[in-house]
Every structure is written in structure tokens, then in C-alpha cells.
Amino acid sequence: MNTTSQRQSPASGATAVLGNRPMSRRMLIDRLFKHLMSIGGISVIVAISAIFFYLASVVVPLFTPPTIEQESQFAVPGAAGQDTAALSGEEQREIGIRVGARGAISFFSFASGQVLASHAIKLPDGAQVTSYASGERRTYALGFGLSDGRVVLVKQGYQVTYPDNKRLITPSIEYPLGEEPLVIDPQGKPIVQLAIQQSEEGSTIVALTEDGRLLVSAVSLTNNLMTGESTSQVEQSEIVLPPSDIRRLLVESKQRELYVLHGDRALARYDIGDKTQPRLIETVQLTDAGEKVTALTMLSGGFSIIVGTNRGNLAQWFPVRKESNHFILTRIRTFDPMQGAVTALAPEFNRKAFIAGDSQGNLGSYFATSNRLLFNKKLSDQALTVLGIPPRGNGYLAQDAAGKVYSAAVHNDHPEVSFSSLWQKVWYESYEAPDYVWQSSAANSDFEPKFSLAPLTYGTIKAAAYAMLISIPLALLGAIFTGYFMTPKMRTIVKPSIEMMGALPTVILGFLAGLWLAPLVENNLAGVLLSIVLLPVSLVGSAWLWQLLPENLRNRVPPGWEAALQLPVVAFMLWFLFQIGHPIEAAFFGGDLPSWLSNELGISYDQRNSLVVGIAMGFAVTPNIFSIAEDAIFSVPKHLTSGSLALGATPWQTLVGVVLLTASPGIFSAVMIGLGRAVGETMIVLMATGNTAVMDFSMFSGFRTLSANIGVEMPEAGVGETHYRLLFLSALVLFAFTFIVNTLAELVRQRMREKYSTI
């Protein structure tokens, strides 16, 4: 026996080893899949993090402060025997220009101050320069008032050539109205204050003479096609009873209005559209009593005025439309004050930005629309008297009272972006009140950037809200009936059919919504609104009538198939409500409900509106919510429902008290996934709305969402520009919104699972 047992033991051991091989293989596979799942999860986290950091890398430069480089200082270039009237530069920031108060013009190296060329304007014998003015910065126009009542207009010119493949900029001086000075005052009195605007359509010159007369002149240039000679024609008028103590004159770039600063703080506004009949519109006080205006300039575009005071305060003013189509000069916003009295102002050529110098030698850079102080830098211990900015706004020139000039290069690519300009109401030029506006481009160079993300975010929430209002009742009620009441055979037909709806491309749904559904809703608006209200009532009523039928008749329909009988009811009610909608419109709304809403209630109706988007997006979101919620309800263990029924609960009590509570985490997840789908939807919103960025919750108005805005404008955005980066910021907002909502949803789902898992 012992021998036999010893002979059998090796065989038994071999059997044990062979028997463990499948187990070892299974454990190996389990470990392999465990590592694969870990790698997959980590890869997802890494991918999401990479997307976030890429979006952030594009967005961060929007909020970085300007950088100042290549700072230098040098003595005033050019003629030292006369004060500096103006400083400026050319587009490449290689050449600066200094305009002397007696007509000397010096071109110098922007970085070093080395004089490159010098010019002197051509003056008549015995005449001297007594005043100076510059036009809109983009025109490069300069005006000089003379001691004999005449005016000379000159223009900076820069010719760019490339000898030996190197850029060479050659500055010059041109006379757009001819070298012969224009007679502005026939009496020949010296011109002590001057304002000019020059354009191809004509020029305007406003001059204050030494004896207190305020003259308005319109200058037109005619060319002789035969001889090529140009002749200037001057149309003149005089403003009756001009203000006393005039300190500054400004003509806006459209040459239709004149601003006259007089006294300590008074500004008179004149209509000079008709140069022969100038008319006083209003006089406003720019500051409080006891505060004096010390600097005044006009922003690019000629609509806004920047005011600086002896207390360092800065404010922006522009005309605002009031009742009866009247424009009233209004203070729009104030800026962070300077440390000392404002002594000089200079606007940028093309943007709504300006720089300010004060009596303590500080230089401040501001952007009007974003109400943003870009930087404030101490340059000198002396007051800054003259400031200048190159055309691209990428540098500055500043001269102090001691005759020293300071220059620098400034990297300031996104000054129009701030928290207030993105998320708060902004009072834009020509607007009657502050508003949320997204308008990324315009037809002319006077455009003020309008980059408010508020209406886009609002439109995103609005689209999701209307979609969920339609999809949640349909999807959840359908899931409850399908997962709990419907027969298995019918479920095998209904569930796959609804899930197939989710596979439809959204571009097709958007196409149908925009070209078929939107006109259908507009032409049958009363019927559509009646359907929204009465169709659910009719379904409940038909179910109640079904219960009143004889029992032997109801028993002919197998349990769980009753819902199929509702299909003819839905079709009939839709047809019936659409048919009675037109008589109702004719009887109560003049036959046109959309027009009645607009005329009587002031509710504008857009054909492609929120109602259309809600129906289309609801159709797209419903399958996702239905499928997940139905799986959660159907997966409730049968012993729970059987136990509830065995204890005497009705099917409805079991549904409410057991099934829905147990399935609530899955139902909640279904709703949140549907919300995420609605928030990120692009094509339906893009094709079924008017894409108007407005903040109106009306179901009859359109909107624009963040995702649709990215889809529309990304092909047009210049890489690296503010518009381009703001579209990435829109994507980052969507990303953050989705991440936060999903995180909160997961926390809620876990709490619900812990709470109801013991039921």
C-alpha cells in the first residue's frame, strides 16, 4: 500500500500543477488588463491636461502686462532754439519726428536720437509761426498758423526702399494743399490757436485770431486735368460771439464738429457740418468746480475726447444719443489717476489707447474701451511736456521740461482685453448705454473692438436650457415606461430605434431645423404653441378615456402595448392643433402672430429662434439621456421590485419608492451627459439660429453660443491676434464649464449611490 501510494503521489502533483495552469493564465490576463486599464486612465488624464495647458498657453498672453524694452534717453534732436510742438514716428519705429514750434521739422533715429534729416516749412517773407496743430494721426497732417493770418499745411511722408535687400526708409515733407499758404484771416491778424483736419475729400481749418475772432474754413482742392495744376478754394465763416479765454481747439476727424476748450473747465461743442453756418450745440463743464483741465486730446476715430486735469484725473467723454435724436456730450468713464497734474496727452494712431504725462515725470499708458491702465512708469523728475506714439502703438517718445527725450519699444498686443471688457457691460462709442456686445470686426478703421464673452456664454446656457426643457421630460418619461412597464418584445423594438436617432449627424438635424422646421414654426406658430401646451394634456386625457372603456375591450391589448395606441393620438392632435391654429391667429392676432408679438408686446420674432433650436437640439439630446436612464431603470434588481409588490405596494408606488431611487444615480448621470452634449453642440446652433450675440431669454429670439462662435470665426481670425486668442479663451471657458459640471455631477452621483445602494 505504501509503495502504491508513493508511486501515485508524483502523478497527483502533476495533476495539481496542470490544474493550476488555467488559473495562472487567468491571473496573468487579469494583471495585464489591470495595467492596460491603468495606462488607459492615465492617458485620458494626460490628454485632457494637455488640452487644458495648450488652451491656456494661447490664452495667457491676453492677460500679460505690456513689456518695455530698448529704453534710451537723449537730448532734444534738431533745432535747439525753439520749443517742441509735437513728437511722433513712422510705422516701423525706426524714425522719429520732432516738430518745432517755429516750423523746424527734424527726423531722427527713434532709438538714439541721431538726426537723419531736417526740414523747415516754407514761410512767406516776414511771417513767423504763431500756432501749431495736428490732424488725425493716421493722416500725418500738420498745420502751422502764421503771424500774417495765413496757414500752411504739411504732411509727413516715408518712402520705403530695399537697396541691397536692406530696408531703407526715407522721410520727406509734402504740401497737400500747395506750398502757398492759405489765407484764413483776410485781416491778416496772427493766428494764436489752430485746429485742422485734412483728407482727400477736403480739409477743415479752424483758427483763433489774436483779436479774438474764431474763423471756420473749408478748403477744397481742384486739379486742372489739362495743366495738372492744383487750385485751393477756401470757404470761410466766423463764429458769432465765440467763448472768451479759448485755450484749445479740436476738430473731429469727420470734420463735422468743433470742440472749443475755454476757461478752466468749459467745453463748447459746435456743429460745423455746414461750414458757412456753424452752430453752437451745447457747453458742458468737464470737471468739478475748483479743478482745471490741463490737457485735452481726441482718440483715434474722432469720436471720444480724453480730458486730463490739474489733480491728475483722466476721463473719457463722447456724444450720446438722447430723446428726439439729440446727442449730448457725456462723461463715459474715468481712469486710474496720475500722480501729478496731467501735462500732456497723446492718442494712438489706430486703437482706442493713449498715453499721459504728468508734472512729476510719470508716463501712464491707458486703453479706453477696457478701462485699463497698461503701465505707469517714472521717466523723469521734471514734468513731461510733449508725448508721441508710433503708428503701431509699439513704443513711445516723451520730452520733459529739461529738454531730454525718452524713447522705448513697447510690446502691447492685447490692451483691449480686461475682466470688465469680457464680462461686464461696456459703454461703446455711438451706443446709448452700456451693453454686452460681441462684434469682432467692422467695415472701417474707426472700429472699437467689442469682445464681450457674456452674450456668448449666455447664449450657450440658453441653448442648453431650451434643449433640456424639451429633452428631459421626453427622455426620462420614455425611459421609465420602456424600462419598467413595456413588454420585452416591444422594448427590443423601441430602444434600438431611439438609440439609432442618436447616430444621426447633427449637421443634418441643423440643416432640417434651419430650412424646414424654422419656416414651419413661423407659418404655424399658434399651432406649435398649442401643441406644446395641449399635446401632453391630450395624451393624459386619452389614457384616462382608455381606462373608461369596457374591461373586455381593454384586455384585447396585451399589457405593456398600450403606448402603441398613443401614436395615432399624437398624430391626430398635431394635425388638429395645426389646423385650428390659423383660425385662432385670424380671430385674435390679426392673422399673423409673429407680427402681433412684435407690434403689440414688443417681442421681436426671429425665424431662426430659440424655440426651433430647442426642438432640434432636444431631438438630438433625447436619445443619449433615454438610453442611459433606461439602462439604469431596467438594471434595478428584480428582487427589489418583487419584494415591494409582495409587501402590497402598487406598481406606481414601487416605481416611485424603489425603482427611481435605486436608479437615481444613473438617471442623474444621463441628464448631466445630455447637458454636456447640449452645451457643446455646434452645428445645430450654427444652422438653426440667427447667430446674433444678444442677451434675451425670449424663445422667439436668436442667440450665439461659444461653440458656434468658434466655428464661425476661427477661419477668419489672424493667428496670434486678440480675436484669435479670445476664441481660444471661449474654448477654455467651455472646457472649464464642462469640467466643473461633470465633477459636481460625479460627486452628486456618488452621494446618491451611497445613499440609495442599501434600498
Structure-model confidence comparison of residues 347 and 228, the more confident one? 347
- pTM metric for this prediction: 0.85
pLDDT at 227: 59
Distance of alpha carbon 297 from alpha carbon 353, whole angstroms: 11
Cα 30 to Cα 274: distance, rounded to the nearest angstrom: 89
Residue 681: Cβ within 10 Å count: 25
Per-residue pLDDT at 17: 47
Query: What's the pLDDT score for residue 1?
Result: 43
What is the mean pLDDT of the segment spanning 570-577?
92
Mean pLDDT of 51-55: 92
Say whether pLDDT at 246 is over 90. Answer: yes
Give the percent of the chain with pLDDT over 90: 53
Instruction: Specify the pLDDT at position 733.
Output: 92
Q: Residue 371: what pLDDT?
A: 94
Q: What is the pLDDT of residue 226?
A: 62
DSSP single-letter state for residue 76: P
Identify the pLDDT of residue 639.
Answer: 86
CB atoms within 10 A of CB 757: 9
CB 355 within 8 A of CB 389: yes
Residue type at 194? L
Name the phi and psi angles at 182, rounded to 5: -90, 135
Higher-confidence position of 647 and 224: 647
pLDDT, one tens digit per residue, over 442-466 is 655 567 889 999 999 999 999 999 9
Q: Please, what's the b/e burial string for 125-157 (b: 16 or more CB within 10 A of its CB; e: otherwise)?
A: eebebbbbbbbbbebbbbbbbbbbbbbbbbbbe
pLDDT for residue 555 = 82
Give residue 383's pLDDT band: very low, low, confident or very high (50, 70, 90).
very high
Region of poorest pLDDT, from 69-78, 253-262, 417-426, 584-593: 584-593
With a cut of 90, say whether residue 234 has pLDDT above it.
Answer: no
Residue tagged 471720444 (cell numbers) = 304
CA 197 to each of CA 200, 255, 306: distance values in angstroms, whole numbers, following the listed order: 10, 7, 18
Question: What is the model's pLDDT at position 71?
Answer: 93
d(CA 598, CA 91): 50
CA 373/CA 406 separation, integer angstroms:
20
Bin 78: left if φ > 0, else alpha if -120 < ψ < 50, else beta.
left
Q: Enumerate the β-bridge partners of residue 230.
A: 223
Q: Which of 382-391, 556-565, 632-641 has the lowest mean pLDDT?
A: 556-565
Compute the distance between CA of residue 624 and CA of residue 194 in angstroms, rounded to an integer. 71
Quote the distance between the C-alpha of residue 66 and its chain's center. Answer: 21
**In this predicted model, what pLDDT tens digit does every residue of 210-222 receive, in sequence order?**
999 999 999 887 7
Question: Average pLDDT, stretch 615-643?
Answer: 90
Q: Is the pLDDT of residue 378 over 60?
A: yes
Highest mean pLDDT out of 79-88, 389-398, 597-606, 684-693 = 389-398
pLDDT at position 434, please? Answer: 94
Q: Quick check: 85 pLDDT over 90?
A: yes
The 10s digit of each residue's pLDDT in 92-109 is 899 999 999 999 999 999
Give residue 228's pLDDT band: very low, low, confident or very high (50, 70, 90). Answer: low
The predicted structure's pLDDT at residue 644: 86
- Cβ pair 227, 167 in contact under 8 A: no
Quick one: pLDDT at residue 446? 64
Mean pLDDT of the chain: 88
pLDDT tens-place string over residues 273-323: 888 899 999 999 999 999 999 999 999 988 999 999 999 999 999 999 987
User: Please, are residues 384 and 343 in contact by the beta-carbon 8 Å criterion?
Assistant: yes
Q: Which of 1-15, 277-291, 341-355, 689-703 shows the lowest mean pLDDT across its residues?
A: 1-15
Q: Is the pLDDT of residue 9 over 60?
A: no
Written as one string, the DSSP assignment of 544-586 is: HHHHHS-HHHHTTSPTT-GGGGHHHHHHHHHHHHHHHHHHHHH
In the prediction, which pLDDT does 11 show?
Answer: 47
Number of other CB atoms surrounding residue 648 within 10 Å: 7
pLDDT band at 475 (very low <50, low <70, confident <90, very high): very high
Mean pLDDT (whole number) for 716-726: 90
Where are the strands (E) in 47-128, listed by range? Answer: 67-75, 84-89, 95-100, 104-109, 115-120
Average pLDDT for residues 503-508, to the nearest whole number? 87
Q: Is the pLDDT of residue 592 over 90?
A: no
What is the pLDDT, as a whole number, of residue 759?
A: 52
Using one digit for the tens of pLDDT, what is the confidence trace for 112-171?
999 999 998 988 888 999 999 999 998 999 999 999 999 999 999 899 888 888 888 889
